[in-house]
Amino acid sequence: MSIYDTLNEQQKEGVFTVDGPVLLLAGAGSGKTRVLTHRIAYLIEEIGVNPWNIMAITFTNKAAGEMKERVEDLVGFGSDSIWVTTFHSTCVRILRRYIDRIGYDNNFAIYDTDDQKAVMKDICKRLQVDTKMMKERSILAAISSAKDELVSPNEYSLSAGGDFHKQKIAQIYQEYQAALKKNNAVDFDDLIMKTVELFKACPDVLKGYQERFKYIMVDEYQDTNTAQFELIKLLAGAHHNLCVVGDDDQSIYKFRGANIRNILDFEKVYPEAAVIRLEQNYRSTQNVLDAANAVIRNNKGRKEKALWTDKGEGNRIHFRQFDTAFEEAEFVADDIARKKREGSFDYGNCAVLFRTNAQARLLEERFVVEGIPYDVVGGTNFYARKEIKDLLAYLKTIDNGRDDLAVKRIINVPKRGIGATTIAKVQDYADMKEISFYDALKEADEISTIGKSGAKLKPFVSMIQAFRSKLSYYSLEDLMNDIIETTGYVKELEASDEEDAENRIENIDEFISKIVSYEETHDEPSLSEFLEEVALVADIDNVDGDSNKVLLMTLHSAKGLEFGSVYLTGMEDGVFPGYMSIVADDPDEIEEERRLAYVGITRAKEDLTLCYAKQRMIRGETQYNAVSRFVKEIPESLMDNRLPAPKYDPITTPASKFKPVASLAPKRTAAENKPFIAGGIGSFGAMGIVKGAGAAPGGRPDYDAGDRVRHIKYGDGTVLSMEPGPRDYKVTVDFDEAGQKIMYAAFAKLKKL
C-alpha cells in the first residue's frame, strides 16, 4: 500500500500537482500539513528532486518543527537538506551569510520589542518628541507598518507631504534605522525587508538561492504581508514552482500587517496557477462545521468553499446567556469541573477563548476558587524576564561588541559603581569619534572628562575580553556558568531579600538547561546561532500540549490549535465584534472580526459553547450589549436552545430604560465581599466573589501548621500558619514550587498528605 493511498482525492491532487504555481485552499482541519509533507516526499521519491532544492516556509517555530518531524518520518535519509523553517529563520540564515553586502557586519544582533522600545525612548528624548502626544508604541507601529510594505525612511518622508505628524515619524524612522545600523542590529521587520533589499541589490545572491530552491512551499499564506510576498515572489522568480497553502477565511492578522489580497489575488499574479480546494475536515463534527460555514458565508471578500466531515453530526451548539460577566465566568468554571467529574473531557481538552486579554481576569479568579488548573497563553515570555535578558545581554556583548544596548544594560549589573553620568560621558566620546560604546570603553584612558571613574570601566572591559578569548574552547554551558560565577549574579540574588529571588534563580537554572539542550541537539553549536534561536522564539511556541490544564487565550492565540471542548466567551456586539469595528462602519473590519469568529468556532472538535452576558464592565464602565451578530448568523436548528428575543436595542434605547446594576448583580453579604488572596492572581472585588463564598467551611480543617498539604494548582507545600476568621480560616502555605501563598480554607481545598 502506497503512503498516498491514505489521502482523499483533493489531497492527492495537491500532492501530485508539482509543476508551476499551485494555490491550495485548505479549510480548517483539512489536513494541509499532511498534504505538504506528502508533497515533499512525492517530489523526492517519485519526481527525483534533490532534497537540497526544496524549501517549506511557515510562520512559527512550533509549526516548522512539527512539519520537519513529519517530513523526516516520510522521507528519512536526505531530509536534513530540506529547508523547513520560518520566514524569519530563513532570512536570518541568508543575512548571516550576505548582509555585509549591504553595509552590516555578519554577526548582527536581533532586537526584540524591549530593545526597540529602549532605542525609541532614546531617540524621542534626543529629538525632544512629546511622547504624550506621539506615543513611542504608536511610532514603532507606524515604522513596522512601513517596513511591512517595504517603505524605506526616504520613501516614507516623500509620502508624508505636508502632514506634520507623518513628517515627524519619517524623521524618527530615519534616526531609528541609523541607531540600529550603528549598533549592528536589526529588528524583526528588518529581517524580511533587508533580505528583499539584499536580493534586489545583489542579483548574483538572488540567482544562487533561486537555483537552490527550485520547489518552494509556503504554509499559512493568508498571513503573509507585502514584504513576505515580495520575498517569495523573488525566490520563485526563476522556476515558478511555488505552492502556497492557506485559508482566506482564517486571515486574522491584519493588525500585524497581513494582506489578505496576497491569497485572494494569487491567480492575478500567476494566471496559470492551479487552484485546489481542501474541504473535508478531519477535526470537528458536522454541527460545528455547519455553524462555522453559516457565519463565514456572510463575508463577501472570500473564495467560496464549505467544510464537511464524515464524523457525524455530533453535539448541537450550546448557547448560554447570563446577567453578568461574573456569572458567565462562574458557569464556565462549573461546567469544566462537571465535565472533568463526569469523565467527558479532561482539563487539557478544554479551552476558553475570548476577544481581549482583559476578559481573562474573572475567569482566572473563578478557576482559582474552583481549584481548576489552567494556563493563560500570552503571559510574560520566558526570554523577556529581567534576569534572562541580563544574561542574554552578556552573551550579546561577547558576541557583538557593537550592540550598545546590550553593553549599557549590563555595564552596572551587578552593581560596579558606574553611574549614569559616566555612561553619558562615554557615549559622548563614542559619538564624537563615531565608534561603538564598547570601543569607547576600551579607550577609557583617553576620555578626560570621566576622571577617576575610568578605573571602574577597565575591569568590565577586561572581563568581556576574557570571556571572548574563551569562546574558542569553552562550551556555551561553560561560558554561561563562567559569566554567572565571575559576575556574582546568582550570589547577589541569593543574598537579596527580594520575594522573587528564588524564582529568578530557578529561571536562570532553566536558561542553563535551555543552553545544554541547544548544544545537545546541534552538531556545530555557536553563540551567534544560539542567540538567533532565542530571538526567534514566539509565545505560542511555548504552549505545552502535554500539560493537563485548561488553556485561557485570545482568539488570535488559538489559531492552529484544537480542543475537544471550547468556550467562546463575551459573544456580544461591542465586545466581539469590537466596538471600534462597529462604529468604523467599515465592512472590511467586520469581515476580519467574522473570520476571527470562524477561527474560534473551528477550534472545537466535539463540543462548542457560546456565552453571552447582558452586562459587562469594560474600562471601569458597565456596558449593556446585544447578542453578537455572529451568534445570530448560526441557524437555531444547530443550537440546543433558542436565542432570546431582545427586550431592547442597547444602541437606541435610553439609558434610563436599563435595569440598574444593583438589580442585576448577585446579592452578597458583607462577609462574602471580603477579598480572596492568592499570590500572583490579585484580589477579588465584589463582582469577583463566588455566591456563598463566605459560608462556614464546616469546622476547622483536618490539617494544622507544620502539616504537609497538596493544592490542585500549586502542588505540595507546608502549612505555615492558620488564622481563624469570622467565617473561615486564613491559611498560609509555603509551596515547594510556587512559593508562599495565602488563601481561605474553603476555597483552597487543601488535601492533607
pLDDT in tens, 593-621: 999 999 999 999 999 999 999 998 775 67
Query: Of 147, 214, 603, 741, which is the active-site residue?
Result: 603
Query: Of 175, 187, 219, 592, which is the active-site residue?
Result: 219
Q: Specify whether 396 is catalytic.
A: no
Q: What is the pLDDT of residue 541?
A: 53
Segments of the chain with pLDDT less than 70: 1, 378-381, 497, 499, 537-546, 619-620, 642-699, 725-727
Q: Specify whether 603 is catalytic.
A: yes
Q: Specify whether 122 is catalytic.
A: no
Q: Specify whether 33 is catalytic.
A: yes
C-alpha grid cell, residue 168: 515627524
Alpha carbon separation from 537 to 59, 64, 263 (Å, rounded): 11, 12, 26
Q: What are phi and psi of 39, to 5 degrees?
A: -65, -40
Find how far residue 579's CA is from the centre of its chain: 24
DSSP class per residue in 16-39: H--SS-EEEEE-TTS-HHHHHHHH
| 656-658-659 Cα angle (round to 5) | 115
Q: What is the pLDDT of residue 539?
A: 47
The set of residues, in sequence order, having a beta carbon less than 8 Å from that of 383 and lying 6+ positions away, is 112, 389, 392, 534, 537
Give the separation between CA 553 and CA 575, rounded to whole angstroms: 15
Task: Answer whether 753's CB lies under 8 Å from 716's CB.
Answer: yes
Query: Of 220, 223, 403, 532, which is the active-site residue?
Result: 220
Q: Specify whether 32 is catalytic.
A: yes
Find how far residue 599's CA is from the centre of its chain: 16
Q: What is the pLDDT of residue 198?
A: 97
Convert the pLDDT of each residue in 665-680 to its tens digit: 333 333 333 333 333 3
Q: Specify whether 220 is catalytic.
A: yes
Q: What is the pLDDT of residue 697?
A: 40
